[in-house]
Structure 1
Amino acid sequence: MKNYFVSLIGASVLSAFCGSALAQDGKIQAADMVALFEKMSGQHPGHRKAHARGLCATGVFIPSPNDLFKGAPLLHNGELPVVMRFSLGGGDPDADERVAGVRGVGIQIKLPDGSIHHFTGNNFPVFAGKDPDTFHGFLSTMLPDESGKSDPAKTLAYAEEHPSVKAHMAWAQNAQAPASFANVEYYGLHTFYYESADKERTKFRWRLSPDLGIKNLTADEIMSKPSDFLADALAEQLQEGPVSFTLIASIGQEEDSTNDPSVQWPAVREKVELGAIRLTDSGGEQCKPLNFDPNVFSAGFSPSDDPVLRMRSAAYAISFGKRLSGQ
């Protein structure tokens, strides 16, 4: 349960909760989510309230124009500058990087007209709950009691009553420790749309596939690594050769869910390459002033009615404001 707790906090927290001020039913507000994150990870002034430990990298986005996304400025302006932030889940800025669980990514692509496009994802393919209320309730079962202990039975009972958390639980129980941020596949989780100039609308979900392949640490490798090995691992890969990812869109059908990130689309859906991200450098403070709000898009793109996606912007904004003010 300990590893699962760490995974869940890392994965779903910062990536999943940053949208509008209220959940769809008006019960859970973004401020409630941020407060819960602080209870679970403790107070760490000046740091992100989730995905606190991270590593910045820079590079270029090399687009792959195609008919489904025709006319998208994101894909028709040549190579574009990219800033990426890789992270561990949870709110501890000193988290042990050898621990299995959540890894996240925030991507900012800047277009020539000054507009930006964000992609924000995690290494898990399904979210822990169909909506903000379910997720908040799920995490709340893991809070310790007066004696400082949490009761796994509460979490299991909650899952039986709220089955939309089960797929994420299954993922978390089998999560491993990646060998590098460059050896992780990241999922956008939510449904998005692209509408071309002639009003053709494409429904899609995205993932970022590592061109170096997925690689996890063995038990022996974990024992030999320091707790902060990921920055050196990525730097060494950059010295050895190209480090890149392929951005892939899965094209949705009418029957595919648009508002439930706890449900995956069928694997047989059509796949379209949107482009490649090639890293050129890692380290530095470029990411420090950035807020990787997943609801920031370039022209033609728009969000779905996913209540989790809607809540993320407000939660990110609250966390961002606290971080910049030293809270």
Structure 2
Amino acid sequence: MGEGGRRGEHHRGAQERAPAALAQEASSTAEQTIAAMTRIFGEHPGKRSNHAKGVVVEGRFTPSKEAATLSKASVFAGAAVPVTVRFSDATGLPQIPDGAPEANPHGLSIKFKPADGAEMDVVTNSLKFFPVATGEEFRDLLVAITKSGPDAQKPTPVEQFMAAHPNAPKALATARTPSSFGRQTYNGVNAFVLVDAA
């Protein structure tokens, strides 16, 4: 077979591999994170990939009088604002017992629904701070966990990840099992900037 034939075969082989490679490259960090969670916790159709078990409550948030001086956000304007609140356990396991150590960190998310329609979401969990700084690092942590089974060579991928990200084990060490969701301290995952009316 001549040189052109070999080149053609190589080109066809590359084309056959390209869709899979392109699909992997095209998948977003969020999709890769969910895929890693599914590998860790299994498939649970109709359930969230993480914090699968939770309880939802409805209520009203009434800001303090001082809140309006700190921020011009409508949720602090003075009138009570309807809220939807979800308390949750960590993991993608919908049947996990609330008191299980693996259920940490616990989560609390709040959706504020002011009359002006400017909804605001606050997502918190019971860690004092989040173990990583970016979505990509969180994905990488989960992927390292998936590769760190009992037969994994030492140091395992998750041990290597923790060594390279010293704040991760420090953050995870702050998780404690609460006596109730109501007695748990929750900390923000995201930062908010308060802009006053001035």
TM range (shorter): 0.7 to 0.9
- In 1, Cα distance between equivalents of 2:46 and 2:180: 26
Q: 1:104 aligns with which of 107, 132, 137?
A: 107
The one-letter amino acid paired with 1:29 is T
Structure 1 counterpart of 2:29: 29
- In 1, Cα distance between equivalents of 2:71 and 2:43: 46
The answer to whether the 8 Å contact 1:144/1:150 transfers is no
The one-letter amino acid paired with 1:94 is Q
The answer to whether the 8 Å contact 1:129/1:165 transfers is yes
Name the CA shift for 1:131/1:72 in 2 (closer, same or farther; >3 Å): closer
The answer to whether the 8 Å contact 1:104/1:123 transfers is yes
- In 2, Cα distance between equivalents of 1:183 and 1:122: 13
5 Å matches for 1:187-226?
A: 187-198=187-198
5 Å matches for 1:168-179?
A: 168-171=171-174, 175-179=175-179
5 Å matches for 1:1-327?
A: 29-66=29-66, 68-100=69-101, 101-143=104-146, 149=150, 151=152, 153-154=155-156, 155-171=158-174, 175-198=175-198
Report sequence identity in percent.
26
Q: Which has the higher contact order (CA 8 A, sep 6+)?
A: 1
The answer to whether the 8 Å contact 1:28/1:133 transfers is no
Structure 2 counterpart of 1:11: none
- In 1, Cα distance between equivalents of 2:31 and 2:71: 39
The answer to whether the 8 Å contact 1:143/1:150 transfers is no
Q: Which has the larger share of strand?
A: 1
CA displacement at 1:135 relative to structure 2: 2.1
Q: Which has the larger share of helix?
A: 2
CA displacement at 1:165 relative to structure 2: 1.7
CA displacement at 1:197 relative to structure 2: 4.0
Name the CA shift for 1:150/1:191 in 2 (closer, same or farther; >3 Å): farther
The answer to whether the 8 Å contact 2:41/2:92 transfers is yes
CA displacement at 1:82 relative to structure 2: 1.6
Alignment partner of 1:51: what SS?
Answer: coil
Alignment partner of 1:166: what SS?
Answer: helix
- In 2, Cα distance between equivalents of 1:37 and 1:65: 43
Structure 1: 5+ residue stretches without partners: 1-25, 199-327
CA displacement at 1:122 relative to structure 2: 0.2
Name the CA shift for 1:64/1:168 in 2 (closer, same or farther; >3 Å): same
- TM (norm. structure 2) is 0.74
- In 2, Cα distance between equivalents of 1:184 and 1:105: 10
Name the CA shift for 1:91/1:153 in 2 (closer, same or farther; >3 Å): same
The answer to whether the 8 Å contact 1:80/1:109 transfers is yes
Q: Cα RMSD over matched residues?
A: 2.4
CA displacement at 1:110 relative to structure 2: 1.2
- In 2, Cα distance between equivalents of 1:177 and 1:44: 24
- In 2, Cα distance between equivalents of 1:53 and 1:116: 24
CA displacement at 1:90 relative to structure 2: 0.9
Q: Which has the larger radius of gyration?
A: 2
CA displacement at 1:99 relative to structure 2: 0.4
CA displacement at 1:150 relative to structure 2: 6.4
CA displacement at 1:63 relative to structure 2: 0.2
